[in-house]
Each structure stands twice: as C-alpha cells, then as structure tokens.
Amino acid sequence: DWVDVGDAVRDAVERCGKTHPGRVTRISLAPDLRFIRGDQDLLAQVIFNLADNAHKYADEGEVAIHARNEGDQVVISVTDEGPGIKPVDLERVFEKFYRGGGTDRRKAGTGLGLSICRGLVQAMGGTIEAQSPAIRRRGTRMVVRLPAAELPEEA
C-alpha cells in the first residue's frame, strides 16, 4: 500500500495522548511529504513505540516528531528532552530484550519495542538509528528513513 506518512504520525500521536495524558507531542510535517510503500498501521505502530519511549524515559519536556523528504527518502524523527542514551548503548537498544539499567528499570517494559520497530522498518526497506549527544540529559533522537514511493500514474 501507499502510506501517507502524515496520517501515520497523526494516528501515533493520538494514541500517545491517551497513553501519556498531559504530555506534549509536537508534530511538524513537510508540506510536500512523499508517500512510502508499506502498511499505515504498522508505520503508526513504529512511531507510537518511539514516542511512547520518548515520554516514558523522559520524565519531563516535550516530544517532537518531524517528517520531511531527503533525497529519495522520507525521514521521520522523534526527539525527546530526556536522559539520553549512552554512546555504547546506541546500537544495543535495538537488541531483543535489551533494557537500560538504572532508573529505566522502574518503568514497565519488556525490551522488545525497539527490536520490533527495527524489524518493521527494515521490512519496509528502511533503517532506524538512535542518536544522543555524549553529554547526559541532552535527549534522544530516533531517526527512521524509508524509501519514498513513486505514486502510480492516474489512469
């Protein structure tokens, strides 16, 4: 299917509002955002998982979701103002059952969310990576890149 990324983002943010009432999730979507090939519900699931983590591990602050075109890709980012992820853990967070130490253990979770996200994004032909400055408490950004789709010609 051709997926409207904006619709998937709005769907995820709506769910996020129910899971994290009172928290702010900002959306900014490029006006000329291209479609991708995949499944809208699964893409919304990925974005929801990232935004859910963002609110869960950041005790305060806003979460910002951006989507824009970059070359032949659509880039979706989810940025929080939380504790960040240590450089050594930036890849490990995508492992099955990996959970951070310290205070993260006090939040409910199985450690499967991000490994599922990576599987779904890869199935749609894309990549996902975690970025976080080495300085603590400077937040986390999760970046999803998906190939932009060519829309079929109108008959």
Q: Is 83 in the site for ligand ATP (CB under 6 A)?
A: yes
CA pair distance 124, 147, nearest whole angstrom: 8
* Candidates 11-19, 29-37, 50-58, 68-76; binding stretch for ligand ATP (CB under 6 A): 50-58
Is there binding between residue 126 and ligand ATP (CB under 6 A)? no
> Out of 16, 75, 80, 144, which residue is the one contacting ligand ATP (CB under 6 A)?
80
Q: Which of 12, 85, 121, 128 binds ligand ATP (CB under 6 A)?
A: 85
Rule CB under 6 A: say whether 109 interacts with ligand ATP.
Answer: yes
Q: How many residues does the chain have?
A: 155
* Residue from 3, 34, 36, 53 binding Mg ion (CB under 5 A): 53
Among 99, 124, 131, 147, binds ligand ATP (CB under 6 A): 99
C-alpha 81/C-alpha 84 separation (Å) is 8
* Per-residue three-class SS string for 13-49: HHHHHHHCCCCCEEEEECCCCCCEECCHHHHHHHHHH
| Closer residue to ligand ATP in complex, CB, 67/148 | 67
The contacts of residue 98 (CB under 8 Å, 6+ apart) are 89, 92, 111, 114, 115
Binding of ligand ATP by 90 (CB under 6 A): no
Report the C-alpha gap between 54 and 18 in whole angstroms.
15
Under rule CB under 6 A, residue 54 binds ligand ATP: yes
Residues that bind Mg ion (CB under 5 A): 53, 113
